[in-house]
Amino acid sequence: MDELHRGGRAHARHLTREEAEAAELVLPYATEALKKRKHRRKRQRVYDYHSGSHYQEPVLGSVEGRAQSVRIGKLRAARTPAIDLLPTATVLVRNEMKPVKIDTGAQYSVAGREWGRYGTKLDVLAPVDYREGFSGVAVRVLGVWRFDFLTQYQQRMQVDALLVESDTPDFLIGEDWMYTHGVKINFLASEIKWYAEDEKVVVPFAGIGTAQTPGARTAKVRLLKQTKVVTQTMRRVHMAVEAPDGAVGMFVPRSRRQRYLFLAPTMTKVRAGQITVPVLSLAGRTTKLPTRETLGTWAPVDSEMEIIEMNGDLERDKVERWIKDVLKARVEPLINEADLSIGEMADDDRQLLLQLLLNYPSTIEPRKGCPPMTTLGVEHEIHTGDAVPIKVRPRRHAHSEQVVVDTEVENMLNDGVIEESNGAWGFPVVLVRKKDGTVRFCIDYRLLNAVTAKDVYPSPRIDETLESMYGARRFSSLDLHAGYWQVPVAAKDRDKTGFVTRKGLFRFARMPFGLANAPGTFQSMMDAVLRGLAWQCCLVYLDDVIIFTKGSVARHVVALASVLERLSKAGLSLKAAKCSFATTRLEYLSHELDLDGIRPMESLVKSVREFPVPEDETALKRFVHLAGFYRRFIAGFGTKAAPLTGLLRKSSAWEWGEKQTAAFEGLKQELTVRPLLAYPDFSRPFKLVTDASIVGLGAALMQDQGRGEQPIAFASKVNSPTVAKYDITDLECAAVVWAIKGFRPYLYGRRFELVTDHSALSWLMRSKDLTGLLHRWALQLQEYNFDITYRPGSINVVADALSRARSGKLLEADNRKVHLQEPNYGPQQRRVS
């Protein structure tokens, strides 16, 4: 045998397999001899992953049931962790997700026989006949199988492994394969990497050191491939995570330098080694995310904590554990914790909610002065085209008012809200006195708004909005702190916001109130910040954000966490004093919501529902005209109104009885229920109809949705003795200001038509020499964008009736003194009879 060793390759060519094994020759020499034997029908390749490496060669030994010696491959390492503790990667093979172990103590890559159906048997000679583990038990090698894997990063990975006659479900990637490919293992990053044809291949794995199921611990989440995210859009991006298929967990984004990129905390389920996360970019340009970038971590939760939906429930202790483990709430309480408005709930649920709020002190806690500007890069632009710069001389103020102006300017300078200017634009400062006696610092931007190109930013239909909240059990209402001041004005347009005081010319660095397109800028920013969450668990209207859920407080906390994380990433601050958390009742967009359902606020229909019983023919005419205006929406209107219209005939005597009462109450009921009261469609223009009298103010918000003008809401108000003394112009102006402010959720930020029976209102918006009350009203209206339409009182029947329907005596005085043109009831009477 020694001669055979010395003979090397030449002598080995003439050996039998048994002679080669007995001589303990190096395997390649013996294999080459076997391959050259001409009597063999099949040419076999050698499994030579270990050739040239530092591993010991297979030893000859005996096994039970075999008389002759066999080659046995042993593990090189002295000790190794149990199989369950090995680093584990997840791969796709034959359309199934399977775990594979990375075993640096295994000399060969080995798989149990059940893996045979996932691979292909190679026509090569196995390097050993048996494989022996630490237990000392040798298992027979069935051959060499080739497996084609697809990694979580969609990269191909080919492994040749020994298939053993064992029931073990494990697949061990040994050092034979790692050495051949030059694999590097990074335990800090929990990944192995190598190069295949100049392409870097990366396979993430779950770390060692715990006996948990792979993926049952916090894992890094990486991008599968380079991804482009278009600005102002939300894209659902597939990411790789080392976790078992079907596992449910919470994705928590890591802090990024790119503050304009948003990844929401997302409860998601692992599918094929991947999770889907909504990504939002507000960069102003297309954002590229590099391949395999780590974007966050994934932490497992119990299966009950599924993706946020509008139904289902969550257990409080599971959410509490998630907050502590993933969000790591701080121990110190919020400085304004006692002032927070929190709905009624169990003490444990309240503590759970507070644990969440502790994670966002910069968003929740009050701050001195002005809040910081958003970090999104969003700016307000003012497009004036070729308009010549406008500069209006400042108005004179009393000494006490000058002190107020100087103080406000000094405070805004210190907070960075304004800055000194030397531009060509300048507008006057106006102090508007509030009801509580304090004054508000305002700039008269009416002339600037007149030359500004108006933006049209779409809003959702309110019926869809309300329907999405139907059945919700908990509501949170968030109000931004000085929301407009958190948005910067574009540098190129700051001069256009200039205003003049006795101390000089200043301009706004942050978006001021009173600019025509400011609502659209703010709404678009908020929509972008909450894109992907809106309609699922929250709604946004300007600086008001509503979170709603149908499950327990725990589920509401998870939804609230998603919204607060978005706001925090955007650098937006809340005014906690105006926020409410997890309440059971909410007033939103002039509707009242609670567990019992959704209904219009009583104030919207109260004016019609409490319309007084007519005491004379004049009062009855007004009510019939009010109802007749909507006759097309009331089935059988002529029959239902007959007992009332009969009293208006000249031949009829006034006699109010049970039939008239029933008809009167029935028509009032018809006027205050759906579908006559339409849901507003924000894609269509609104029409606000107002009227005033000595008795009171009346208004109706209407819209044509293809069936003619339908009412959205009614409103009326009894005048105080002071207001009742106004002249007709002031009364009409008071009605307009009161109605617009009352219907602000519908009108603010969009163009609408104002219908009035007093043409002097057009003068109000154009006059430069207003003083006192009229000037204050004009400033309040400059934030709104509307066209004025004159409608004579004879046909302005809806608002007219609402403004006068209070008492017979007042109506009589009103008819004598104010109503200049008595309506023509003839045609109307014939139409409703």
> Residue 623: in which H helix or E strand, if any?
helix 617-628
Flag whether pLDDT at 312 surpasses 50: no
Helix axis angle for 617-628 and 658-671, nearest 10°, is 40
Strand ordering across the sheet containing 499-501: 418-420, 504-508, 499-501, 427-433, 439-443
Tens digit of each residue's pLDDT (9 = 90 or more) over 403-440 = 889 999 999 998 889 999 999 999 998 887 765 666 77
* Local structure of residue 139 (DSSP, 8 states): E
Contact yes or no for 800/757 (Cβ under 8 A): yes
The arithmetic mean of pLDDT across residues 276-282, rounded, is 73
For 137-186, write each residue's pLDDT tens digit.
678 888 889 999 988 767 789 999 988 888 788 899 988 898 888 898 88
Hey, which residues does 173 pair with through a beta bridge?
Answer: 102
Instruction: Grade residue 634 by pLDDT with cuts at 50, 70 and 90.
Output: low
Distance CA 391, CA 408 (A): 21
In which residue are the tokens 């049970």 written? Answer: 658
The sign of the torsion formed by the CA atoms of 669, 670, 674, 676 equals: negative
Q: How many residues does the chain have?
A: 833
Element (H, E) at 620: helix 617-628
**637 vs 630: CA distance, rounded Å:** 9
CA angle 112–113–117, rounded 5-degree value: 115
SS3 assignment, position 729: helix
Q: What is the pLDDT of residue 748?
A: 75
Maximum separation of any 2 CA atoms in the chain, in Å:
141
Name which residue leads in pLDDT, 19 or 194.
194
Q: Where does the pLDDT of residue 813 fall: very low under 50, low under 70, confident under 90, or very high at 90 and above?
A: very low
Per-residue model confidence as pLDDT tens digits over 104-122: 878 888 898 889 999 998 8
Please tell me the distance from the alpha carbon of residue 666 to that of residue 738, in angstroms, as a whole number.
29
CA atoms of 781 and 741, how far apart (whole Å) = 9
What mean pLDDT comes out for the span 727-756? 82
Closest CA to 160 of 202, 123, 105: 123
d(CA 387, CA 306): 56
How far is residue 100's CA from residue 212's CA, in Å, rounded to a whole number?
Answer: 15
Q: How far is CA 674 from the centre of its chain?
A: 31
Residue (of 772, 505, 480, 464) closest to 589 by Cα position? 464
The three-point CA angle 23-24-27 to 5° equals: 120
Query: How confident is the model over 380-409, as pLDDT tens digits?
Result: 999 999 999 998 888 877 788 888 899 999
Could you give all domains of the chain from N- to C-terminal order, each with its CATH number?
1-43 (no CATH), 73-204 (2.40.70.10), 219-280+290-307 (no CATH), 602-833 (3.30.420.10)
Please give the span between the terminal C-alpha atoms of the chain, in angstroms, as a whole number: 126
Let me know: does 682 contact 743? Beta carbons within 8 Å.
Answer: no
Q: Is the pLDDT of residue 54 over 50?
A: no
Distance between CA atoms of 112 and 118, rounded to whole angstroms? 11
